[in-house]
Amino acid sequence: MLAKDLGFLHPDRMLACMTAKELRDWEAYYQVEPFGDQRADLRNGILCSLTDACHRTKGQPRPPSAYMPFVKASEKRQSIKDQKAIFARAQAAWNRKGK
């Protein structure tokens, strides 16, 4: 996925010209600021949920994840503990970059 998002035709080509540090930096960046098809699906899910809320006359509108066909139920919720761990990894990567 990263290779495609960075414009490489094949992951091997990306890895041939990328250092291990650069790969770690991209992984840390993705944890903080996701990009790619999944992020686009989320944006679309948010718009669909908003449209649903505007036009619904009864009941609660469906959440954005209801409009994301490839999201598994276990992936739909992220705990505070998970969020803190992701932030800690990003912070560690940022600190390594400054050295």
Residues 11-42: tens digit of each pLDDT: 899 999 999 999 889 888 888 887 777 778 88
> Residue 92 falls within a domain, yes or no?
yes
On the 0-12 / 13-18 / 19+ scale of CB atoms within 10 A, 80 is exposed
> Residue 55 falls within a domain, yes or no?
yes
> Residue 84 falls within a domain, yes or no?
yes
Cβ pair 66, 50 in contact under 8 A = no
Range of the domain at 32: 19-98
Total structural domains within the chain = 1
> Residue 40 falls within a domain, yes or no?
yes
Residue 87 has pLDDT above 60, yes or no: yes
pLDDT of residue 40: 82
Residues 10, 12, 15, 16, CA torsion sign: negative
> Residue 75 falls within a domain, yes or no?
yes
CA-to-CA separations, 78 to 1, 11, 33, 66, 74, in angstroms, rounded: 21, 28, 15, 16, 9
> Residue 3 falls within a domain, yes or no?
no
> Residue 13 falls within a domain, yes or no?
no
pLDDT of residue 67: 82
What is the average pLDDT across 64-80? Answer: 70
Residue 98 has pLDDT above 70, yes or no: no
> Residue 43 falls within a domain, yes or no?
yes
What is the average pLDDT across 67-95? Answer: 75
CB count in 10 Å sphere of residue 35: 14
Q: What is the pTM of this model?
A: 0.46
